[in-house]
Amino acid sequence: MIGPTLEKILLISAGAILGANARYWIGDWSAQKWGAAFPFGTVLINMTGSFLIGLFLTLATERFMIDPRWRLLIAVGFLGAYTTFSTFSFESFSLINRGQWLLGVLNALGSTLVGILAVSLGVLVAKNLL
């Protein structure tokens, strides 16, 4: 069967529920602890998510060869909902690690700059709709 199976959908969904809630609670906790003037929670979430995806995917694919369903639950579901920055960081690292420096740097800088431009465009469109 091409496409996701019910089992895959359920694994990703279960991880995503946990990841989204973890993101909310950590963001709320950090705002209470350090204030909301700077997005400390987002920085904390992005850094911990990046660390966790690097740790998990390396262990899962190079050290322990775990069941691929764990990758769906943890990397795609949990960390995907916790922060997509972790996936972006891992993909940029993987390109650089494979010797594709130009592609890795282009992905890192391009995604960041294009992301900021896309947010700006979204804000501009929303403001002009009202």
Token readout for 75 is 């990397």
Is the pLDDT score of 1 beyond 60?
no
pLDDT of the residue at 33: 96
**Which DSSP string do the residues of 58-117 spell out, in sequence order?**
HIIIIIS---HHHHIIIIIIIHHHH-HHHHHHHHHHHHHHTT-HHHHHHHHHHHHHHHHH
Q: Where are the domains of the chain?
A: 6-99, 100-130
Q: pLDDT-based confidence at 109, cuts 50/70/90?
A: very high
Query: What are the pLDDT digits (tens) for 57-77?
Result: 989 988 888 999 999 999 999
Looking at residue 25, its amino acid is: W
pTM given for the model: 0.77
* Cα distances (angstroms) measured from residue 103 to each of 46, 92, 93, 94, 109: 21, 8, 10, 10, 10
Please tell me the distance from the alpha carbon of residue 13 to that of residue 72, in angstroms, as a whole number.
Answer: 9
> Is the Cβ–Cβ distance between 19 and 77 less than 8 Å?
yes
